[in-house]
Amino acid sequence: MPTKNPRLSVVLDPVLHKSLDKLARQEGISLSLAARDLIKEGLEIREDMYWQEMVQEREKTFSYEKSLSHEDVWK
């Protein structure tokens, strides 16, 4: 039966494979699901880091004098 989800092959060094296998066993899930969950988590962390950098750049040019109050925005 064909699958709808794309597949990915990844080559792991033995130490990393052992750590992933241990994590999967502890959580009672397959290696594939453990890898998927870790990839998702890693991507979320990267996204958070990106947005944090954007915030820091915007803070450099932020001016309280030019900013609008909550009331002004939601009139």
Query: Residue 75 has what pLDDT?
Result: 85
Mean pLDDT by 10 residues, the chain (75 residues): 86 98 98 97 98 96 92 91
Is this model's pTM higher than 0.85 or not? no
Query: Residue 2 has what pLDDT?
Result: 73
Q: Which of 46, 36, 49 is nearest to 8 (CA)?
A: 36
Query: Residue 1 has what pLDDT?
Result: 62
Query: Residue 44 has what pLDDT?
Result: 98
